Amino acid sequence: MDNKVWFITGASRGFGRIWAEAALSRGDKVAATARTPEDIVDLKERYGNAVLPLALDVTDVHQVQQVVQQAHSHFGRLDVVLNNAGYSLVGTAEEAGESDVHALFDTNYFGTLRVIQAVLPHLRQQGSGHILGVSSAMGLVAAPLIGFYCASKWAVEALHDSLAQEVKDFGIKVTLLEPGAFATDFGSPASMKASQGLDAYADLRNRVFGHLSTAERGDPEATAEAILRIVDAQDPPLRFAVGAGVLPLVRGAYADRLAAWEAWETISNAAQGKANK
């Protein structure tokens, strides 16, 4: 197996850090990006020339273009493009400020889009490449208090679904990584912002946070081998559930959706009207 060249956003912590180290440990090369480059300097110290540490704020379109070009010029190609940068926003639909929602989407959705648009000319010219988008189980279902985060990941899901169909003929693969609950620092201030809460939703917040405090979380280190298998696969899946809790959650949600659509099927069909010939 030939060594791969990775481009990873959000490589300073969490999944981005774990997957960067997994790639490097097996001999791959990584352009590791982070808002604060000091957070990834140690990767350079440990892995030498296999690492290109780069400062990147995915909300800066010009910096995205520049950094992608720099990484491609440095290594000569990009094989795996992993969009991992993102964070969550806690707040109900009534509580969250519009500016906070814009900022969330600017990172989670538009940041991902900017990287994809920057790398695609290189991948098309190569006739190969694998774009990995970090979605979430919350990109498949929605939960209270994090509806805007869920919405950003649902948007990421749709983007990659369309993208896979658009770039298949160029030899480019696309996979959505959909993690469930893991013991990362995703709940830390660096990964989560909170809107000012209204008293009307205090009981809801207590119930949700109480449930989260007792929820079982997976070992993030255990995900590395699975991700390496995905990038090495000849025919990788468009969607990959990361962790054991995702499929049961999705099965229940989709069963409920199908049941609701089918219960109203007669009225839905009537809304079609008569076919125009």
Q: Which of 47, 87, 109, 149 is catalytic?
A: 149
- Please say whether the beta carbons of 43 and 21 come within 8 A: yes
Q: Which of 47, 88, 152, 153 is catalytic?
A: 153
Q: Which of 12, 88, 135, 152 is catalytic?
A: 135
44 is catalytic: no
Extract the tokens encoding 245.
């809790």
254 is catalytic: no
Cα dist. 154→7, 157, 163, 220 in Å?
23, 5, 14, 22
Determine the residue type at 148: F
Cα(149)–Cα(138) distance, rounded to whole angstroms? 8
88 is catalytic: no
Extract the tokens encoding 174.
């696309």
**Torsional sign, CA 210, 211, 214, 218:** negative
Extract the tokens encoding 43.
């990767």
The residues annotated as belonging to the active site are 135, 149, 153
